Chains A and B, each alone.
Chain A
Amino acid sequence: MAGPMKMRATLSGGVTDVRVLMTHPMETGQRKDPDGKLVPLHFIQNVTLKVNGKTVVESQISQGISRNPVFTFRIKGGAKGDRIEVSWIDNHGETNQTETAVA
Chain B
Amino acid sequence: MGANQGYSAVGGDRIPTSREMRINPIRRSLVAVLAAIALKPFAALAAAWNKDGFGAKTAADALKTLGASNPVASRDVVIEAPQIAENGAVVPIEIMSNVPGTTSIAVLIDKNPFPLVGKFDFMEGALPFVKLNAKLGETSEVRVVAEALGKHYVATQEIKVTIGGCGG
Are chains A and B touching in the complex at the 8 Å CB cutoff? yes
Judged by a CB distance under 8 angstroms, whether A47 is at the interface is: yes
B118–A62 CB distance below 8 A: yes
Partner of A46, one of B44, B91, B131: B44
List the one stretch of B68-76, B121-129, B145-153, B156-164 in contact with chain A: B121-129
- The verdict on A8 contacting chain B, using a C-beta distance below 8 Å, is no
Known: A28-B7, A51-B125. Contact between A57 and B120, CB under 8 A? yes
- CB atoms of B126 and A65 under 8 A apart: no
Q: Is the CB of A56 within 8 A of B125?
A: yes
Instruction: List residues 22-44 of chain A with CB under 8 A from any CB of chain B.
Output: 28-32, 40-41
State which of B19, B127, B134 has its C-beta within 8 Å of the C-beta of A66: B134
- Tell me if A89 is interfacial: C-beta within 8 Å of chain B: yes
Tell me the smallest distance from the CB of A37 to a CB of chain B, in Å: 11
Quick one: closest B residue to A77, CB to CB? B125
Give the total of A residues in contact with B, Cβ under 8 Å: 46
> How many angstroms from the CA of A63 to the CA of B7 in the assembled complex?
10
The residue of chain B having its C-beta at the shortest distance from the C-beta of A87 within the complex is B44
List, in ascending order, chain B residues with CB within 8 A of A67's CB.
6, 89
Question: Is A100 located at the chain interface by the 8 A CB criterion?
Answer: no
Distance in angstroms between the alpha carbons of A95 and B135 in the assembled complex: 22
Is there an interface contact between A58 and B133, defined as CB atoms closer than 8 Å? Answer: no
Q: Is the CB of B20 within 8 A of A64?
A: no
> Which of A32, A59, A91, A97 is close to B120, meaning CB atoms less than 8 Å apart?
A59
A31 nearest CB across to chain B (Å): 6
Establish whether residues A65 and B47, one from each chain, have CB atoms under 8 Å apart when the complex forms. Answer: no
B9 x A31 contact (CB < 8 A): yes
Q: How far is the CA of A69 from the CA of B107 in the complex (A)?
A: 15
B residues less than 8 Å from A74 (CB atoms): 126-127, 129
Q: Within 8 Å of chain A (Cβ to Cβ): is B139?
A: no
A binding-site residues for B, Cβ under 8 Å: 15, 28-32, 40-41, 45-51, 54-67, 69-77, 87-89, 91-93, 95, 97
Q: What are 14 inter-chain pairs, A to B, with CB distance below 8 A?
A: A41-B16, A45-B47, A57-B130, A59-B118, A60-B54, A60-B118, A61-B117, A62-B114, A71-B131, A73-B129, A74-B129, A76-B125, A76-B126, A93-B23
18 additional A-B residue pairs with CB within 8 Å, beyond A59-B121, A93-B23:
A31-B9, A41-B20, A46-B44, A50-B43, A54-B125, A56-B123, A59-B120, A60-B50, A60-B119, A61-B119, A62-B118, A64-B115, A65-B135, A66-B135, A72-B129, A72-B130, A92-B20, A92-B23
